[in-house]
Structure 1
Amino acid sequence: MKPILNPILLLCCCFYLNIAFSQNTQTPSNRQQAVFTVRGSVYDAEFSKPIPQVNIEVNGGAYTTTNMAGDFRIQVKNGDELVVKHKDFQTVYYTIKNNERIKIEVRANKGLSEQPKRIQALSFNASIDSAETYLKTDIEKSLQFITEALSKSRSINENAQVYEVLGDLYIFWKQYDIAISNYRISLQSVSTNAVLLKLAKAYWFNKNYQESITTYKSIKKLDLSNWQQVVLQEGLGDTYYSIQDYSNALKAYNSALEKANQYKIKAKITDLNSKIAQVFSETGNDKEAAGYFNNALTLASQETKSRAVEEKVKVADFKNRSRNFDNEIELRKQAIEDLKDIEIDSTIGNESSLTIQKQNYKIGNAYYLQKDFDSAKAYLEKSIDEASEKNDLVVAKDAKRKLSEVYSSSGEYDKALETYKEYTDLVEALYIKKEQEIIQAARFSKEIAEKQNRITSLESDRQLSESKYQLTSERNKRQQLIIYSLIGGLLLLMVTAYFMYKYIKQQRLANNLLALKSLRSQMNPHFIFNALNSVNSFIASNDERTANRYLSDFSQLMRSVLENSEADFIPLEKEIALLELYTKLEHFRFQDKFDYEITVSDNVVVSDFQIPPMLLQPYIENAVWHGLRYKTTKGFLSIKIDKKSHSEVTITITDNGIGRKRSKDLKTNNQKKHNSQGMSNIKKRVSILNDMYQDKVAVTISNFQELEDTGTHVEVTLKKD
């Protein structure tokens, strides 16, 4: 922008409803006002050009500057005064009155407007603002507006903004892996500290802890605002805390607290006192923990009632761990009274730790630990009534079990038995509910993935259209050269052929990845269904203790399966751990049918090898369910991992069951069809992976012995990367 001497400014501000609230969003009536991020831009009205390096400051608070596109973001509260300074125009002052986007245009003129003027919203910004408005309430509408914004995007800045909002959407709906992808796409267009912080937080949500730490450490601290410096250190502390690196967690939290005190960021001061207290509590330093918890409790009482209740519950949990039950009970009773007031204005979901039924349950448990059985009964019954009213089966189940223990401890064995039977009924009801939730979650994830694919396709089509336009323009420019030079035409043909070859190669890779994802998605439901049938058989036989133990191992197995389900390859040691757990569960059910042995040769370094997830499990499942299960005598399953060469390892799965031929003769037509599809999926996965990774996996299947029970021998060969 050209320097303007003695300018008289015309300030034009256009506002768009587009605010990204901080973690501690609060209502205007609260004593501690909400901190939020306001977006804005500064333009030279005369030349319609953005003005970079404009100083943007909040009096007594955050500071930032505009980027090369003239855009800025800054943390503010309602009532803050925004100060806009630059050497080429007079300082502009604006008071934040609501949560709207700000656009400032400066130009030489004869007068200064008294108030900012509202102008018509641009179509792209209107779509983005609408997407953010529906982000937390209607995912369908939000995605629709994001799609519209992407189609209207005309710059890399707008593209980056679309994918940032898309990442925010998936974070809220707990689709963390998809959120990570979209934040990374946003950063490929425009790299900003705000999005880097969000990406690091998304890695933390998705339990990619090392990636989270690396991302946090890659951010240049000198470029951060005061608020962002606190957020960065707090995020690092959260990540270190999650991996139980309490020393580094405490160091990061203390650094964040020091900066929060320096910049008077009150909401963060409360949170950080609480988190430091939790670190001290985990490391057994109860005296220091108590001091920080008291600080957090005092500060939280000056904020919203919901924040105060949250801190009371945290301190109560700490009192429980230190066996200070009287203080715990008093804090929980106060929390219940506050929660009754909060529930008048808002609904607290059953998944929250701040529910009345959970607090009554924990009070009852505290009385039980004090051997005050009458008080324990009263509060546990309150918890059961409240949980039943709110359809909270988890708390109702736990309270019933604890109440049965109280009756047993107080000598009322008939009531204890009756209550325990009610507990077992709730366990069965909860199992059914959880099964339904798993199905609903799978359906929701599938719908989300389809919508993300549509958005990705739209972006691909847009890029393809741009590429076609650029290619057409390039050809037009070279038409004259083609007329005068055959060499130029031949060169153009070769370039075009190269790009076509590259495009076809990329499409083939994309098709392979899509096919792999589809095959994995077919394997997981099949595996889950069979495992759930095993759980169901235990529950049907009223073997509740066995079912609980089986469910515990099954949940651990499911966590491992789902964590690995998106990867083409995982470390062999992870697959071995998964096989050990799965085989243990199958032996647990059919222990009278077979014994098993898993051996790994000493000369095999399992960390050197990678294997497709869930590749071996179906073969073990077939061995147990279709071979050993029908054997008249007790069979044996052997899983061996041996070194074949310096770059290859073999995994053999051997059983002395009835064999493939007799097993096939025993099956119904429906079972034959089901098995055929399952084994076909495995063959397709191996074929696609070998095509992509150059024959990395080989599988052979043969009879194990020449006896009546021929058994089955499966040999899998893996190569190093």
Structure 2
Amino acid sequence: MKKYFTLILFILLFHTGYSQSIQQEKSFIVKGSVKTYETREPIDNVRVYVVGGRATETDIFGEFSLQVKTGDIIFFESPNIETIKYTIKSDEDIDVLVKGYEREQSSKKISRRSITSLKHQNYLDSADFYKKTDIEKSLTFIEKSLSVLSGKSENEKTAQSFSKLGDIYLYYKQYDLAISNYKSSLNAGYTTETDINLGKAYVLNQEYENAQKVFSELLKQNQLTVYNSILIYEGLGDAYKGLNNNTGAINNYKKALKIARDNLVTPKITDLNSKIAGVYSEQKNITQAEQFYQNSLSLAKKENPKRAVQEKEKVADFYNQNKLYDKEIELRQSNLEEVELMEEAVQSPVPVSTEAQDSITSQKINYKIANAYIMQQEFDKAIPYLERSIAEADNREDLVVQKDATRKLSEVYKNVGDYTKALETYQEYVQLVDQLYIKKEQEISQASRFSRDITLKQNRISSLEKDRELSQSKYDLAVKDQQLVAESNKRQKLIIYALIFGMFMMALTIYLFYRNSRQQKLANNLLALKSLRTQMNPHFIFNALNSVNNFIAQSDERSANRYLTEFSTLMRAVLENSEEDFIPLSKEIELLELYTKLEHSRFKEKFDYEIKIDENVKVEDFQIPPMLVQPYVENAIWHGLRYKESKGHLKIQLTQPDSETIKITIEDDGIGRRKSTELKTLNQRKQKSKGMGNIKKRIRILNDMYKDKVDVFIEDVLKDSTGTRVILTLKKD
């Protein structure tokens, strides 16, 4: 029987003229597919080739890819279709649809549902393969796995895709997105494993009450596997620990430990011993904690070297917290030898953790051993370990450890009386701080791009799922319309329901877009605040170092040393606070007192000062952004009091008008803002104060985030424009 075939080519052609002339010179990969017109069933084993060039065949999905040039003629050949010719004009995909195609019965025939299932599983496997190395590729494969699904019958596969997506976000510590996708997975199709992962994500996101509810509900299930039972009790213990219910945590950890011991689940026995020890340590039950830590240490040694190294560090930290420095040093020295052997074998730090800052390396262990010796006042023993830590950190470009070890070494030299080396080492520390600042700026920029890319990918995946649901809804509606054609009243109701559903979906989409926009704005504000804080530190350091330079220029070595000692104390406080969005007001006052004391030591002949805190001020009730007040005090000294001919006065006063507000007043009787502006050089007038500029930006962002939390008012004290008063009002919440 003679067969007749009709070929329909859907070709989208772009880029004519000059772009075509370029393409004629270059080869490129063109992709396409061959499918039946009626059912869109893929046609496999179709030979696709260029005369005198490359050739390929369509796969079981009916797809192909072939390297060609513009102007090449592609041939499609198969025993079941007529030979087809197509001229390449661009790099757009080619879709070939064949009418009247009848597949020969064979053992190779694959149903449409089987093909979809195979594609879906392949995409999930690919997403899992790239999970730890390339998050963008991994998310792309998740998106593809959802794009091949359609219909309610594939809810199980939809659940698998969203569960895998939750795993990816969990690995990259995007806990809120992990929670959202685990919920989507559970809505599409429930599995115990996904529910357990949801509970873990709640714990990691510090939503301990939600985690407790999830794990408590899981315990009500019948026929739980042994491993799932262990995970559930362990998760419940983690939730109780987060809620500061140590008794509940220990009870659940011990239940999980009993199941693990009865069924010889060795890795979990080690983990649970370690977690129980951690809770006992928080309760200051040293004996019990040490007993369980010894158990975990013994078990970890039987597992593998990396696990043993990790557990030794936990136990050493426990000894450190409880001032058992001799035991800590002995254990870390033993651990150091093992880590060095492992690093020598692989020429890199031991990757016992997915986080670089948590990885156990020889430079970190050397630093911790040195710190233990310092706590025992054995400075001479600490120096070699600090020097090794610095050298190894420098070799591996670990700026954080190198900075901390250099700072600690400077303090040790100071304690042993070697002030020359202390100064040299401190100068190296300052250089490292500058390098680390640059690195942190780059990391912030990368984190911003990473967050933006993740958000876009998630939005596309969410949009794809909504489109799939909407398409399915339209299909269901069409079927029902055909079945109920004689029942007009019911059909009208269906139309009304469909319209309501569409409006609901539109409203939901608008709401989700608005919520995502707010979250993105909050994230951007937090990044901006962090960036501005990190900019304040170098600005402040450079100004203070100018003061040290002034003493040295005057050959006042004693004053320079004293100033440098006090300055290092101030810098330590500044650096400790620099990572925080808010710090207690008491810390800011201490920093302010120290800074004012330093400036007064330099300009004794220029001003006196007083810091007055009213009796009714409840300092402990307030939080304040770090380094918020200092730039105003600096302005008063450097631009107001420094140029006054007679000795001036600086007054800093804290008052509390009401229970929710605190007022900070910085008042000087200097030359005033107008006179200060007149004294500036032309070049100085063109430049704006970086410190004050950053403060204005920080206040603007804080007020945007926290609804007018900070208010600043600046005025002249006297009518002749001399003296300046800055009134800074801070709300509690």
TM range (shorter): 0.5 to 0.7
Q: CA deviation at 1:302?
A: 1.1
Which residue does the alignment assign to 1:194?
193
Q: CA deviation at 1:293?
A: 2.1
Check 1:413–1:366 CA distance in 2 against 1; reply closer, same or farther (3 A cut). same
The residue identity in structure 2 corresponding to 1:555 is: E
Which residue does the alignment assign to 1:431?
437
CA distance in 2 between partners of 1:597 and 1:127 (Å): 65
Which residue does the alignment assign to 1:528?
530
* 1:527-606 paired onto structure 2 within 5 Å: 527-540=529-542, 541-542=544-545, 543-557=567-581
Which residue does the alignment assign to 2:557?
none
Which residue does the alignment assign to 2:411?
405
Q: CA deviation at 1:173?
A: 1.1
Which residue does the alignment assign to 1:278?
278
Q: CA deviation at 1:221?
A: 4.8
The residue identity in structure 2 corresponding to 1:194 is: E
The residue identity in structure 2 corresponding to 1:406 is: V
Which residue does the alignment assign to 1:138?
134
CA distance in 2 between partners of 1:328 and 1:716 (Å): 45
CA distance in 1 between partners of 2:314 and 2:194 (Å): 31
Residues 520-548 of structure 1: per-residue CA shift (max 9 Å, x gap)? 34533443344333323212233554343
Which residue does the alignment assign to 1:690?
none
Q: CA deviation at 1:258?
A: 1.2
Secondary structure at the counterpart of residue 358 of structure 2: coil
Residues 118-170 of structure 1: per-residue CA shift (max 9 Å, x gap)? x9971111111111111112212211111111112341111111111001101
Equivalent pair of 1:312/1:335 in contact (CA under 8 Å): yes
Secondary structure at the counterpart of residue 132 of structure 2: coil
CA distance in 1 between partners of 2:411 and 2:636 (Å): 41
Q: CA deviation at 1:642?
A: 7.4
* 1:485-524 paired onto structure 2 within 5 Å: 491=493, 494-524=496-526
Which residue does the alignment assign to 2:366?
360
The yes-or-no answer on 1:150 pairing with 2:146 is: yes
Secondary structure at the counterpart of residue 434 of structure 1: helix
Check 1:245–1:192 CA distance in 2 against 1; reply closer, same or farther (3 A cut). same
Query: Where does the alignment leave 5 or more consecutive residues of structure 1 unmatched?
Result: 1-118, 561-576, 607-613, 644-649, 687-696
Count of aligned pairs:
548
Equivalent pair of 2:142/2:165 in contact (CA under 8 Å): yes
Q: CA deviation at 1:172?
A: 0.9
Which residue does the alignment assign to 1:420?
426
CA distance in 1 between partners of 2:420 and 2:708 (Å): 61
Check 1:254–1:685 CA distance in 2 against 1; reply closer, same or farther (3 A cut). closer
Query: Where does the alignment leave 5 or more consecutive residues of structure 2 unmatched?
Result: 1-113, 546-566, 600-608, 642-648, 668-673, 679-684
TM-score (normalised: structure 2) = 0.62
* 1:134-533 paired onto structure 2 within 5 Å: 134-154=130-150, 155-223=154-222, 224-343=224-343, 344-345=345-346, 347-348=349-350, 350-482=356-488, 491=493, 494-533=496-535
Q: CA deviation at 1:361?
A: 1.8
Residues 211-250 of structure 1: per-residue CA shift (max 9 Å, x gap)? 2222222213543211111112222323333454332222
Which residue does the alignment assign to 2:103?
none
CA distance in 2 between partners of 1:506 and 1:369 (Å): 58
The residue identity in structure 1 corresponding to 2:186 is: L
Which residue does the alignment assign to 1:689?
none
Q: CA deviation at 1:492?
A: 5.1
Check 1:313–1:415 CA distance in 2 against 1; reply closer, same or farther (3 A cut). same
Q: CA deviation at 1:495?
A: 3.7
CA distance in 2 between partners of 1:717 and 1:371 (Å): 44
Check 1:186–1:655 CA distance in 2 against 1; reply closer, same or farther (3 A cut). farther
Check 1:490–1:444 CA distance in 2 against 1; reply closer, same or farther (3 A cut). closer
Check 1:147–1:327 CA distance in 2 against 1; reply closer, same or farther (3 A cut). same
**585-594 vs 379-388, which deviates more?**
585-594
The residue identity in structure 1 corresponding to 2:537 is: V
CA distance in 1 between partners of 2:716 and 2:432 (Å): 51
CA distance in 2 between partners of 1:169 and 1:432 (Å): 30
Secondary structure at the counterpart of residue 350 of structure 2: coil
Q: CA deviation at 1:342?
A: 2.5
The residue identity in structure 2 corresponding to 1:468 is: K
Secondary structure at the counterpart of residue 354 of structure 1: coil
CA distance in 1 between partners of 2:569 and 2:527 (Å): 26
Equivalent pair of 2:437/2:534 in contact (CA under 8 Å): no
Equivalent pair of 1:594/1:628 in contact (CA under 8 Å): no
Which residue does the alignment assign to 1:76?
none
Q: CA deviation at 1:714?
A: 13
CA distance in 2 between partners of 1:652 and 1:451 (Å): 44
Check 1:684–1:427 CA distance in 2 against 1; reply closer, same or farther (3 A cut). closer
The residue identity in structure 2 corresponding to 1:138 is: D
Equivalent pair of 2:350/2:361 in contact (CA under 8 Å): yes
* 1:636-651 paired onto structure 2 within 5 Å: none
CA distance in 1 between partners of 2:324 and 2:731 (Å): 58
* 1:26-175 paired onto structure 2 within 5 Å: 122-154=118-150, 155-175=154-174
Structural RMSD (CA): 5.0
Secondary structure at the counterpart of residue 301 of structure 1: helix
Q: CA deviation at 1:628?
A: 10
Residues 45-95 of structure 1: per-residue CA shift (max 9 Å, x gap)? xxxxxxxxxxxxxxxxxxxxxxxxxxxxxxxxxxxxxxxxxxxxxxxxxxx
CA distance in 2 between partners of 1:173 and 1:298 (Å): 31
The residue identity in structure 2 corresponding to 1:229 is: S
The residue identity in structure 1 corresponding to 2:271 is: D
**516-525 vs 244-253, which deviates more?**
516-525
Check 1:124–1:369 CA distance in 2 against 1; reply closer, same or farther (3 A cut). same
CA distance in 1 between partners of 2:662 and 2:317 (Å): 50
Q: CA deviation at 1:186?
A: 1.1
Equivalent pair of 1:180/1:199 in contact (CA under 8 Å): yes
Equivalent pair of 1:516/1:685 in contact (CA under 8 Å): no
Q: CA deviation at 1:183?
A: 0.9
Check 1:473–1:264 CA distance in 2 against 1; reply closer, same or farther (3 A cut). same
Q: CA deviation at 1:445?
A: 1.5
Equivalent pair of 2:374/2:382 in contact (CA under 8 Å): yes
Check 1:631–1:500 CA distance in 2 against 1; reply closer, same or farther (3 A cut). farther
Equivalent pair of 1:534/1:589 in contact (CA under 8 Å): no
Q: CA deviation at 1:318?
A: 3.0
Check 1:143–1:585 CA distance in 2 against 1; reply closer, same or farther (3 A cut). farther
